[in-house]
Amino acid sequence: MSSAQRLPTMADVAERAGVSPSTVSRTLRGLPTVSPEVRARVEEAARELNFAVSRQAASLVTGRTGVVAALVPTLNSWFMGSALSTLGPLLRAAGMELSVYVIPDMTERTAFFERLPARRNADALVVFGFDLTEEETLRLDDLGMPVIYVSQHAEGRPSVYVDDVAGACKATRHLLNLGHHRIAFAPTVGASGFCFSSRERLLGYQQALTEAGIPLDDDLVVTMSFEDKRGITEGVGKLLSLREPPTAIFAEMDELAIAVIHFLRQTRIQVPERISVIGFDDHQIAQWTGLSTVAQSPSEMGRLAGELALKLIHESDADHKQHIVLPTHLIPRATTAPPPAYRNERASASEGRHV
């Protein structure tokens, strides 16, 4: 650019679009108080003039950064990838940016809560799947910005999550309705302090068994990790060594369910002929492998969390205690079937009718 050329200003955009500079400011900051027709004119004028809002300058005027931060335990997961893939574009469409803080272990976690880097660098914080202590929750309350909790129920705070108890009930009832009475539950192992809805899904599993009049058996609850081959071997081995082994296994996550099925088939135990397996998520791998599962939608959770964040940022009268609870759906596929004894009884009864 030559020294004679001048950078376009907000006043230039306003003149070309036929609106006031304040309307240009509201439009380019993504505020919802601008009509679609005016927004289109302003955005077109800004493009023609190659005008871009300086976030630093806008922040001095509005007290806002134009950024929403996300706090996640990992980026290497189907759930996080799906949720962030909808959250990011939604925020960009509203003229805001997404900043992600990854804290994969307790050292990083301690440092984050000591420094709270989001305090001066974001207008809202979206927290994904953390089992926070009371002290950590109070620290986030002191940020002075909306904090939205995703995939967890945060009492008295804005939250977006599925009903894990109801979802686990559906999975367990599906197995009960097929005739299974010895049903194991396999929760996952996560890094210390991180939550993968284990408690709620265990509660739903226990609730369905109790409703069916089946006594709870702690030996049928075995924690495993889908990333630990030896852990899978030991966990499933523990179940198979019981005096009365399970005829079905409900794994807390699809990835764990697939790992369990792989081990069973390696040991020549047929699925579902001898043991049925069901997961939770409806991960893409569940569709490819015919895994029975309970479906949830992390992409929908990401979208709703973004919409809620924008609402809490821009609307002074928004409900800061709102909970959005999404439904789950049972998807029976090829890895669940009646147990062997049930099938044998049906076969014998059928033969008796034909004698």
Residue 51 is assigned to a structural domain of this protein: no
309 with 339, same domain? no
138 with 123, same domain? yes
217 with 93, same domain? no
179 with 290, same domain? yes
Q: Is beta strand 159-162 parallel, antiparallel or unpaired with respect to 97-102?
A: unpaired
**Rounded Cα–Cα distance for residues 75 and 59 (Å):** 29
The structural domain count of the chain equals 3
* Residue numbers of the domain that contains 176: 164-296+330-351
Residue 21 is assigned to a structural domain of this protein: yes
State the pLDDT at residue 194.
56
The string over 298-326, giving b where at least 16 C-beta atoms fall within 10 Å of a residue's C-beta and e elsewhere, is bbbbbbbbbbbbbbbbbeeeeeeeeebeb
CB-based burial label for 104 (10 Å; 0-12, 13-18, 19+)? middle
138 with 70, same domain? yes
198 with 260, same domain? yes
Residue 54 is assigned to a structural domain of this protein: no
**Rounded Cα–Cα distance for residues 314 and 231 (Å):** 48
SS3 per-residue string spanning the chain? CCCCCCCCCHHHHHHHHCCCHHHHHHHHCCCCCCCHHHHHHHHHHHHHCCCCCCHHHHHHHHCCCCEEEEEECCCCCHHHHHHHHHHHHHHHHCCCEEEEEECCCHHHHHHHHHHCHHHHCCCEEEEECECCCHHHHHHHHCCCCCEEEECCCCCCCCEEEECHHHHHHHHHHHHHHCCCCCEEEECECCCCCECCCHHHHHHHHHHHHHHCCCCCCHHHECCECCCCHHHHHHHHHHHHCCCCCCCEEEECCHHHHHHHHHHHHHCCCCCCCCCEEEEEECCHHHHHHCCEEEECCHHHHHHHHHHHHHHHHHCCCCCCCCEEEECCEEECCCCCCCCHHHHHHHHHHHHHHHC
Q: Return all residues near 303 (Cβ < 8 A) that are at least 6 apart.
A: 86, 87, 90
266 with 218, same domain? yes
Residue 77 is assigned to a structural domain of this protein: yes
- Kindly report the CATH number assigned to the domain that includes residue 216: 3.40.50.2300
Summarize pLDDT for 206-259 with one digit per residue, the tens: 999 999 999 999 999 999 987 778 889 999 999 999 999 999 999 999 999 999
State the pLDDT at residue 201.
94
Residue 1 is assigned to a structural domain of this protein: no
Residue 52 is assigned to a structural domain of this protein: no
Residue 197 is assigned to a structural domain of this protein: yes
213 with 281, same domain? yes
154 with 179, same domain? no
Rounded average pLDDT per 10-residue block, the chain, 355 residues: 60 89 77 83 85 53 77 89 95 91 88 86 91 90 92 92 96 98 90 67 97 98 86 94 97 94 95 97 94 97 96 90 95 97 56 50
Residue 282 is assigned to a structural domain of this protein: yes
How many angstroms separate the Cα of 311 from the Cα of each of 62, 117, 124, 298, 319? Answer: 16, 23, 10, 20, 9
86 with 142, same domain? yes
**Rounded Cα–Cα distance for residues 210 and 214 (Å):** 6
340 with 209, same domain? yes
207 with 146, same domain? no
